[in-house]
Amino acid sequence: MAFDVDMIQRVYANLGERVEAARQVVGKPLTLSEKILYSHLFAGNGSAARPTEAFERGKTYVDFAPDRVAMQDATAQMALLQFMQAGRPQVAVPSTVHCDHLIQAEVGADKDLDVAKNKNKEVYDFLASISDKYGIGFWKPGAGIIHQVVIENYAFPGGMMIGTDSHTPNAGGLGMIAIGVGGADACDVMAGLAWELKMPKLIGVKLTGKLSGWASAKDVILRVAGILTVKGGTGCIVEYFGEGAESLSATGKGTICNMGAEIGATTSIFAYDDKMGDYLRATSRAEIADAAQAVKANLRSDDEVYADPASYYDQLIEINLSELEPHINGPFTPDLAWPLSNFAKAVKENNWPERLEVGLIGSCTNSSYEDMTRSASVAAQATNKGLKAKAEFTVTPGSELVRFTAERDGILDTFEEIGGVVLANACGPCIGQWARHMDDPTRPNSIITSFNRNFAKRNDGNASTHAFVASPEIVTALVIAGDLTFNPMTDTLTNEAGEQVMLDEPAGIEQPLQGYAVDDAGYQAPAEDGSGVKVIVSPTSDRLQLLAPFKAWEGTDLTGLKLLIKAKGKCTTDHISMAGPWLKYRGHLDNISNNMLIGAVNYYNDKTNTVKNQLTGEYGEVPAVQRAYKAAGIGSVVVGDENYGEGSSREHAAMEPRFLGVRAILVRSFARIHETNLKKQGMLALTFANPADYDKVQEDDSIDIKGLTSFAPGVPLTVVLNHADGSSDEFAVNHTYNEGQIEWFKAGAALNIIRMKQGANA
């Protein structure tokens, strides 16, 4: 139904030739990551090219052509609103939307899903209709969590995808390079543009031995997080290999790759092996397993790499699975890793609340059939050994396929017998969508999850909640004990008859013996011809707004621009476009623009969100002052300090100033992704040639930008500051626009160029 066999066959048909060409230009044997990256170089309109040059890891920016795009419902809104601007009849590469983030967990799956469908109706209607129109697969609310649905349906060995969610690397469990990006990147790839990435460095993780007992795949990544910490993987792909890797199920590999996001890795990946073949066959993709088997040599690193990994990876780690203990990580950060045998001591020494109040299993990280059966084997022991679960227990299936199969096989009954509440197949408590009922939310308390992140407030919004992360089977054991200091490997529990009993080691099944089953997977295929489909957006909606194209450059230098704000110190994308309560306006550019720069500190009064309106002389909120300039037909300039726009890749931080009429951002230096986002939106992104010129900018300045009529790569522009006292300063400003990006500026936005090419402007 869902996967695209033809596309995958095309990737495999070119793979051998491209890998060989890459080997020639690189001049040595290749790792798996290099094989996939070099076989996905951009050649135009979403297609890939043959490699002709080598790229330096950690240095060179490279244009790639991913095979797929996946979007979750929160980030898909602006990505798709922007995509409409491209004027294409269909997306350039296969793409999907997944409704998972907007469903709040409260009482249980059915009721919670009904509430969400009602509350988010306009967003779901919009996403369903725009998907239908542009050839995008649409997974309805309740169908499942993006990454579980992707690994079940779309991930394939040797492929490359981007997804608008940080845990997109989950698909590395099926040998795919899968990377989390912002909505603007997704829009570009769907529109047929290149996707740019700095050639990643490579961390090799050699897994020897074999897991046993209570240890699971989750413990591999909990251990790796302890070694590398939350920043250790930044700019790197983590590649797992070795006999230990081949012993792990594909979904176990997915769990490890999923949580690579917790160490900041660009992505994580495993080589193709029989376990992946088993999973592909179990999920009705035997054709892909056969095709992958036929090109297996190119879906793993060259033999020389495995023989001498230290020579090919930038960093090498070795873990013996036979000696790996279960881990519990936390609280408040996923890299605080505790082997189970040390955890009880850590709980006591740190005065963390010992009583476990809630255990939560499932999510995109850990809800495979194997996870469910291993956890159920622990849960069943409570009933069989006369124990009662002492903590609350929730189960979040990752997809309807897993949920339906687990229900058929009695697994959900087993959880319910110990008080488990099955939640909707959605993110829910993993992303703070949890209406947790507590007597006192400020009371320090402990919860444990099989999810991936455990930052303060992440699950229930309460700063006093101590959240720990472990495998689902360890979570289930601790739910039965109701005590964080319980170690199921060594400790006994007192049952209802007063006897001391121990829990046996978990036992699981990788693939269901009767196969997977589902009644309604929740998938809506797009229309064959979407030209007649109308995108549904209510004109009165405060959450969604269709975009109008940004205007083209007027063809002259810019004069008489007002200084909007001279931002002092750090100005991240959070300062420029705050998250939190503004998240619900992510699909409504006008409404979300009311948060523009409200977190930036005004250089002249050290206050946030208070700038001088040069038209009235009065101080007002930044968005309001900018709207006054816009109403008067006057452009403006934002001045900033070093590394302006660091943080997330959020495109809103570039779109809002563009929408409200800011013409240039002039700073000491830019965070690179934000600089690119500004260029894509048709904005001028400029840097002081002499950083000391930042000091020349005065509060009442009118600003001219000269040299635009001969705007060219490598040629500085000139800025004139016309001060209120009649004096002026003139200096050079630099830019990094190439020819193509200058065309984006002239057309008003990158998407305007695509639309013109599509003839939609004719």
Which residues are near ligand SF4 by CB under 6 A?
100, 145-147, 165, 167, 363-364, 427, 430-431, 451-452
> Could you tell me which of 455, 459, 447 has the C-alpha nearest to residue 357?
447
Omega before 331 cis (within 30°)? yes
The active-site residue out of 249, 648, 649, 702 is: 648
| Tokens coding 560 | 């008489």
Torsion of CA 206, 212, 216, 220, to 10 degrees: -20
Closest to ligand SF4 by CB, 250 vs 611, is 250
The active-site residue out of 73, 132, 165, 460 is: 165
Nearest distance in Å: CB 566, ligand SF4: 37
Nearest distance in Å: CB 278, ligand SF4: 24
> Could you tell me which of 33, 283, 61, 267 has the C-alpha nearest to residue 154?
283
Nearest distance in Å: CB 245, ligand SF4: 23
- Whether 100 is catalytic is yes
Q: What is the spatial distance between Cα 372 and Cα 380, in angstroms, rounded to a whole number?
A: 12
Closest to ligand SF4 by CB, 363 vs 648, is 363
Closest to ligand SF4 by CB, 454 vs 609, is 454
Nearest distance in Å: CB 325, ligand SF4: 25
Cα–chain center distance at 153 = 19
- Whether 147 is catalytic is no
| Tokens coding 252 | 């176990």
> Could you tell me which of 343, 234, 185, 4 has the C-alpha nearest to residue 750?
185
Nearest distance in Å: CB 421, ligand SF4: 17
Nearest distance in Å: CB 544, ligand SF4: 21
Q: What is the spatial distance between Cα 744 and Cα 193, in angstroms, rounded to a whole number?
A: 13
Nearest distance in Å: CB 729, ligand SF4: 48
The active-site residue out of 650, 658, 735, 755 is: 650
Element (H, E) at 122: helix 121-134
Q: What is the spatial distance between Cα 550 and Cα 747, in angstroms, rounded to a whole number?
A: 9
Closest to ligand SF4 by CB, 445 vs 452, is 452
**Three-state DSSP state, 26:** helix
- Whether 374 is catalytic is no
Closest to ligand SF4 by CB, 453 vs 566, is 453
Q: Which DSSP symbol is given to 715?
A: -
Site of tokens 């959880």: 415
The active-site residue out of 68, 98, 101, 543 is: 101
Sign of CA dihedral 56, 59, 60, 61: positive
The active-site residue out of 67, 73, 100, 188 is: 100
- Whether 112 is catalytic is no
Radius of gyration over alpha carbons of the chain, in Å? 27
Site of tokens 């900041």: 264
Closest to ligand SF4 by CB, 189 vs 424, is 424
> Could you tell me which of 299, 223, 402, 290 has the C-alpha nearest to residue 39?
299
Backbone angles phi, psi at 389, to 5 degrees: -65, 135
Nearest distance in Å: CB 176, ligand SF4: 16
**Three-state DSSP state, 190:** helix
The active-site residue out of 167, 223, 453, 652 is: 453
Q: What is the spatial distance between Cα 365 and Cα 217, in angstroms, rounded to a whole number?
A: 11
Q: With 0-12 CB in 10 A as exposed, 13-18 as middle and 19+ as buried, what is 563?
A: buried
| Tokens coding 289 | 């397993």
Nearest distance in Å: CB 167, ligand SF4: 5
Nearest distance in Å: CB 364, ligand SF4: 3
Spell 436-462 as b/e; 16+ CB within 10 A means b. beeeeeeeebbbbbbbbbbeeebbbeb
Cα–chain center distance at 659 = 25
Q: What is the spatial distance between Cα 667 and Cα 367, in angstroms, rounded to a whole number?
A: 46
Closest to ligand SF4 by CB, 389 vs 431, is 431
Closest to ligand SF4 by CB, 34 vs 165, is 165
**Number of Cβ within a 10 Å radius of residue 60:** 12
Catalytic residues: 100-101, 165, 453, 648, 650
